[in-house]
């Protein structure tokens, strides 16, 4: 009933690889932004927060459309990249960007909560003791928030694996080149090839389950300091 | 040190203008009067609307000159009320956290981990984790951490607030040692007059964000505007005495007050330092207008009433017996005895009422 | 005139094929370095047939064909935005027309190659007596599944057909618009609807539906699958090569085998 072909493994590994790359890509930006959201205030803060959260609430296809407009050859950015030999549309890079954009808000939200739970007094005292902002961040804040950071990364990874709408618009559904687990499942369903679809579905469920379960476990064991 | 600042602070504004120059300056006042905010402002952790902060010639903040040093640059050691020890670092790493800072500190003794650990008796804690420490231990570690950053000013925010009385009395000597060993000026926030009297040379009193009074600790504390705010049993006396000898059979030890008078305290073995601090609660001093005879109390001291403050049904009597004492009486007692400034009185103090700090 | 063109095209195709054969035999050893990779964007319903054609093509050319399958509207949009597609195989005319209007197609390469047959399907275990579209008027037929009649080609064609037959007004209240062909099949399979319209090639996907009526090709709507080379393609030679193979008798056989109607 289940089909484990070479194609199956290729799709799985491709999805895992790009999912991992996408998560690593958003890691520094997500953490930095989460810290800024947790600690700083400024006039247009709500506007920025909303923009960052948009991919979470907008239909993924809409986000995909926006990305297509931004990175397509017709746009200034797309043209600029194309001239330098960098193709985003219909390419694994497109998959990467679609995954990154869609999972970014989840990472920021998770990490932001963890940072907010770190007692600011600790950071303040560290400052009075002469520690630079960077030192405070890496020696005090991050170690105290690491559980939430990892939980956020796992959640973002799971989201990246499940990403569909934006991916199909930006990177297309090219078997062997940009076809992820989600896209493949869709294709197989469309063609009535249920055994293949169920196989990939099973794999997806296992991966997503593992990621989210670990993420939740980490959050539960995080102590309030 | 010169401190002037205005900070908007709900529900009132903090507006302070004070100058002082003492080893230990106490910041005294009821909770919620803005003392912690003031410390935060001095440390650079709180925004100030306008003002100046200057310590020993160094300007830390000046709205007119547009100077605002970051907390890192202010060379201030801060021991906050909740100690704020870093839970992910060991005690040793906590203490050494700020040790690498280069400052031109002019402390008498070189501040090293060994020295401080010995002084505060925390050597055995160095490899422990901060969450396993008791309240008193945390305080000492936080103090050590602040010291090792070679500060030019120490800020202590109610360091003994969360400790029980017995523990408090144990830690005050440590604080005194710190005061004596290192030439770092200290600002000490508290709402407990005993701490003020036993540690501070100078006190500034803050009430609802305003400077109410400042001056030498004893005088300020017992003055009327301050007294009105005090809680029930807070008329306190703290004296420095010199240990003379002990009489084990009699269950007491003999000490000498500054004025040369004898004061008997409960028996104690000969202390390491001859100089002690003794605390006597104001309502444990009985007043008589005639020298009593055949009475159990171990101390009878003669003095002249130097001041009298009556607030409702309570009265505080200031007695000059060579040393200044403050006793608390009911106003009916004052009336009955016809007490008034200039009157000769005798203070009756049980041996047990004299508590070494 | 058209016959002449057809004959011409046929000749051109055969000649091109011959040319390709010769080229291959002559240049085979060297072509690995010059093998092109061309991207064909095609409607999902063409997946299986195009894969078979590509399989056959592999024996004749070192060019590599990669596909991206999806809804024609999405593909057209992506091509519009400059996606690196070489050949576009659409499931309806509207998408191709709009690309042509915007100058995105290589002139002279467009072919209205395929057609399909509209069929009426019911669940395999249906007890209702439905043998023609008129039976949809019966009261026992409560719901009819149609892939979004406003946007999806098969839905558009089906609704137009019903309109032409004068049935649309009476059945449109029964119509349940669903996402796409697959959703149409799924809803008929489940018995949630009593009937649905799909292409003949789609009906073959599911074993739980049966075709009760095939709309005659000449009476039904003119379903057209156009194919064209994209103007911005960087590998036009290779694209033409593959296109010619698709248009060749071998290609057409494959389409017929999968149930498509070959127009040209």
* Chain B hits for A225, Cβ within 8 Å: 87
Q: How far is A108 from chain C (nearest CA, A)?
A: 30
Q: Between B77, B97, B100, which is nearest A126 by CB?
A: B97
With CA atoms as reference, the chain A residue closest to C48 would be: A191
Beta-carbon separation of B98 and A127 below 8 A: no
| Numbered residues of chain A with Cβ closer than 8 Å to any chain C Cβ | 65, 68-69, 72-74, 78, 82, 87, 89-90, 168-169, 172-178, 187, 189-192
Question: Is the model more confident about A212 or about B224?
Answer: A212
Q: Between A176, A177, A192, which is nearest C206 by CB?
A: A192
* Chain C hits for A177, Cβ within 8 Å: 66
Q: Are residues B196 and B318 in the same domain?
A: no
Chain B neighbours, 3+ Cβ pairs < 8 A: A
- CB neighbours of B182 closer than 8 A, spacing ≥ 6? B107, B108, B109, B111, B147
Report pLDDT for A174: 85
Ranges under pLDDT 50 in chain C: 1, 22-33
Q: Are residues B177 and B77 in the same domain?
A: yes
Q: What is the pLDDT of residues C11-30, one digit of tens each?
A: 556 655 655 554 444 444 33
Let me know if B317 is exposed, middle or buried by CB neighbors in 10 A (0-12, 13-18, 19+). Answer: buried
Q: Angle at the Cα of C40 (from C37 to C41), degrees rounded to 5? A: 145
Q: Are residues B129 and B52 in the same domain?
A: yes
Q: What is the pLDDT of residues A129-144, one digit of tens each?
A: 999 999 999 999 999 9
Backbone angles phi, psi at B256, to 5 degrees: -120, 130
Name the DSSP class of A222.
Answer: P
Does domain C2-115+224-262 fall under CATH 3.40.190.10? My reply is yes
Q: Are residues B96 and B22 in the same domain?
A: yes
Q: How far is A119 from chain B (nearest CA, A)?
A: 8
Q: Are residues B220 and B291 in the same domain?
A: no
According to the 3-state scheme, what is the secondary structure of chain C? CHHHHHHHHHHHHHHHHHHHHHHHHHHHHHHHHHCCEEEEEEEHHHHHHHHHHHHHHCCCCCCEEEEEEECHHHHHHHHHCCCCCCEEECCCHHHHHHHHHCCCECCCCCEEEEECCEEEEEECCCCCCCCCHHHHHCCCCCCEEEECCCCCHHHHHHHHHHHHCCCHHHHHHHEEEECCHHHHHHHHHHCCCCEEEEEHHHHCCCCCEEEEEECCCCCCCCCCEEEEEECCCCCHHHHHHHHHHHHCHHHHHHHHHCCCEECC
Report pLDDT for C32: 42
The residues in C 37-56 lying below 8 A from A, measured between CB atoms, are 39, 41, 44, 47-48
Let me know if B58 is exposed, middle or buried by CB neighbors in 10 A (0-12, 13-18, 19+). Answer: middle
Q: Are residues B217 and B271 in the same domain?
A: no
Total beta-carbon pairs less than 8 A apart between chain A and chain C: 73
Q: What is the CATH number of the domain that holds B278?
A: 2.40.50.100
Beta-carbon separation of C44 and A187 below 8 A: yes
Q: Kindly state the percentage of chain A with pLDDT values over 90.
A: 60
Domain assignment of residue B173, given as a range: 2-230
**Number of independent structural domains in chain B:** 2
Beta-carbon separation of A129 and B101 below 8 A: yes
Which among B237, B263, B264 has a CA at the least distance from the CA of B250?
Answer: B264
Contact A71, A81 (CB under 8 A): yes
Question: What ipTM was estimated for this complex?
Answer: 0.78
The structure tokens 């939430």 sit at: A148
Contact C63, C35 (CB under 8 A): yes
Q: Are residues B257 and B225 in the same domain?
A: no
Backbone angles phi, psi at A154, to 5 degrees: -65, -40
Total beta-carbon pairs less than 8 A apart between chain A and chain B: 57
Ranges under pLDDT 70 in chain B: 9-12, 101-110, 222-234
SS3 B259: coil
Q: What is the CATH number of the domain that holds B223?
A: 3.40.50.300
Measured between alpha carbons, how far is residue B25 from residues A40, A166, B154, C2 in Å? 34, 64, 10, 107
Q: Between A68, A172, A190, which is nearest C68 by CB?
A: A172
Domain boundary among B204, B230, B256: B230
Q: How far is A133 from chain B (nearest CA, A)?
A: 9
Measured between alpha carbons, how far is residue A46 from residues A13, A53, A108, A112, A114 in Å? 38, 10, 14, 14, 19
Contact C38, C66 (CB under 8 A): yes
Report pLDDT for A21: 95
Report pLDDT for B118: 85
Position A225 confidence tier, pLDDT thresholds 50, 70, 90: very low
| Numbered residues of chain A with Cβ closer than 8 Å to any chain B Cβ | 119, 121-122, 124-132, 139-140, 143-144, 225
Report pLDDT for B225: 58
- CB neighbours of A41 closer than 8 A, spacing ≥ 6? none
Beta-carbon separation of B72 and A225 below 8 A: no
Q: Between B87, B88, B149, which is nearest A129 by CB?
A: B149
- CB neighbours of C79 closer than 8 A, spacing ≥ 6? C41, C85, C88, C99, C104, C230
Separation CA B121–CA B129 (nearest Å): 16
pTM: 0.74
With CA atoms as reference, the chain A residue closest to B97 would be: A129
Q: Kindly state the percentage of chain A with pLDDT values over 70.
A: 97
SS3 B199: helix
Mark whether C and B touch (3+ CB pairs within 8 Å). Answer: no
* Chain A hits for B132, Cβ within 8 Å: none
Q: Which CATH number fits domain A6-220: 3.30.950.10, 1.10.3720.10, 3.20.20.140, 3.40.50.300?
A: 1.10.3720.10
Which sequence spans correspond to the domains of chain C? 2-115+224-262, 118-214
Beta-carbon separation of C39 and A191 below 8 A: no
Please tell me the class of the C118-214 domain: alpha beta
Answer yes or no: same fold for C2-115+224-262 and C118-214.
yes
Q: Are residues B41 and B162 in the same domain?
A: yes
- CB neighbours of A40 closer than 8 A, spacing ≥ 6? none
């Amino acid at each position: 009933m289940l089909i484990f072909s070479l194609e199956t493994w290729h799709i799985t590994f491709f999805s895992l690889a790009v999912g991992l790359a996408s998560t690593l890509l958003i890691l520094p930006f997500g953490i930095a932004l989460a810290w800024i959201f947790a600690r700083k205030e400024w006039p247009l803060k709500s506007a920025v927060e909303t923009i960052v959260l948009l991919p979470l609430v907008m239909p993924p296809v809409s986000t995909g459309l926006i990305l297509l407009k931004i990175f397509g050859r017709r746009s200034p950015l797309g043209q600029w990249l194309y001239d330098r030999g960098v193709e985003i549309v219909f390419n694994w890079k497109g998959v990467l960007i679609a995954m990154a954009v869609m999972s970014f808000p989840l990472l920021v939200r998770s990490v932001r909560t963890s940072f907010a739970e770190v007692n600011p007094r600790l950071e303040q005292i560290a400052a009075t003791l002469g520690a630079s902002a960077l030192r405070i961040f890496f020696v005090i804040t991050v170690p105290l928030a690491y559980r939430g950071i990892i939980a956020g990364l796992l959640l973002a990874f799971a989201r990246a694996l499940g990403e569909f709408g934006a991916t199909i618009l930006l990177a297309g559904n090219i078997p062997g080149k940009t076809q992820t687990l989600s896209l493949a499942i869709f294709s197989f369903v469309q063609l009535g090839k249920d055994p293949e679809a169920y196989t990939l579905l099973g794999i997806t469920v296992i991966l997503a389950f593992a990621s989210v379960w670990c993420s939740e476990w980490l959050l539960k064991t995080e102590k309030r300091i | 040190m010169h401190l002037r600042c205005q900070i908007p602070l709900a529900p009132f504004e903090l507006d302070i203008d004070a100058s002082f120059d003492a080893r230990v300056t106490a910041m005294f006042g009821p909770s919620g009067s803005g003392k912690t905010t003031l410390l935060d402002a001095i440390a650079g952790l709180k925004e100030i609307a306008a003002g100046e902060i200057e310590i020993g010639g160094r300007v830390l903040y000046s709205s007119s000159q547009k100077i605002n040093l970051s907390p890192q640059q202010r060379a201030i050691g801060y021991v906050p009320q909740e100690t704020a020890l870093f839970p992910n670092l060991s005690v040793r790493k906590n203490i050494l956290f700020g040790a690498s800072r280069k400052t031109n500190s002019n402390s008498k003794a070189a501040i090293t981990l060994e020295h401080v650990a010995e002084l505060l008796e925390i050597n055995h804690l160095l490899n422990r984790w901060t969450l396993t420490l008791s309240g008193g231990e945390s305080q000492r570690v936080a103090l050590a951490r602040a010291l090792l950053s070679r500060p030019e000013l120490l800020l202590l925010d109610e360091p003994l607030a969360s400790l029980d009385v017995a523990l408090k009395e144990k830690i005050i000597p440590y604080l005194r040692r710190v005061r004596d060993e290192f030439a770092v000026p200290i600002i000490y926030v508290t709402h407990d007059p005993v701490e003020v009297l036993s540690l501070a040379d100078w006190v500034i009193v803050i009430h609802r964000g305003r400077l109410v009074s400042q001056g030498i600790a004893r005088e300020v504390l017992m003055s009327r505007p301050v007294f009105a705010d005090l809680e029930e049993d807070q008329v306190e006396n703290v004296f420095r005495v010199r240990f003379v000898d002990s009489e084990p059979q009699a269950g007491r030890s003999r000490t000498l007050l500054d004025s040369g008078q004898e004061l008997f305290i409960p028996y104690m073995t000969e202390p390491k330092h001859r100089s002690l601090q003794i605390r006597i609660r104001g309502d444990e001093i009985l007043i008589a207008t005639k020298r009593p005879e055949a009475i159990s109390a171990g101390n009878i001291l003669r003095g002249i009433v130097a001041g009298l403050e009556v607030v409702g049904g309570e009265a505080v009597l200031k007695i000059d017996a060579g040393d200044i004492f403050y006793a608390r009486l009911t106003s009916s007692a004052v009336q009955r005895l016809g007490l008034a400034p200039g009157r000769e009185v005798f203070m009756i103090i049980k041996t047990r009422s004299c508590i070494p700090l | 005139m058209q016959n002449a063109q057809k004959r011409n095209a046929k000749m051109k195709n055969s000649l091109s094929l011959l040319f390709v054969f010769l080229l291959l035999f002559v240049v085979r050893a060297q072509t690995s370095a010059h093998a092109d990779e061309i991207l064909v964007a095609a409607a999902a319903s063409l997946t299986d047939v195009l894969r078979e054609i590509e399989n056959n093509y592999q024996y004749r050319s070192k060019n590599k064909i990669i596909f991206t399958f999806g809804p024609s509207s999405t593909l057209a949009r992506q091509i519009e935005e400059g996606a690196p597609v070489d050949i576009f195989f659409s499931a309806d005319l509207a998408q191709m027309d709009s690309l042509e209007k915007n100058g995105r197609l290589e002139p002279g390469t467009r072919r209205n190659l395929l057609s399909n047959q509209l069929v009426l399907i019911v669940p395999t275990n249906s007890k209702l007596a439905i043998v023609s579209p008129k039976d949809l008027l019966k009261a026992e037929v409560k719901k009819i599944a149609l892939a979004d009649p406003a946007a999806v080609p098969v839905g558009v064609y089906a609704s137009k057909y019903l309109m032409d037959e004068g049935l649309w007004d009476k059945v449109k209240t029964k119509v349940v618009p669903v996402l796409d062909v697959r959703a149409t099949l799924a809803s008929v399979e489940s018995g949630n609807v009593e009937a649905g319209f799909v292409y003949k090639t789609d009906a073959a996907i599911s074993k739980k539906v049966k075709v009760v009526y095939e709309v005659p090709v000449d009476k039904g709507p003119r379903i057209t699958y156009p194919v064209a080379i994209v103007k911005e393609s960087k590998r036009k030679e290779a694209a033409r090569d593959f296109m010619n193979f698709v248009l060749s008798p071998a290609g057409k056989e494959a389409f017929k085998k999968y149930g498509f109607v070959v127009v040209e």
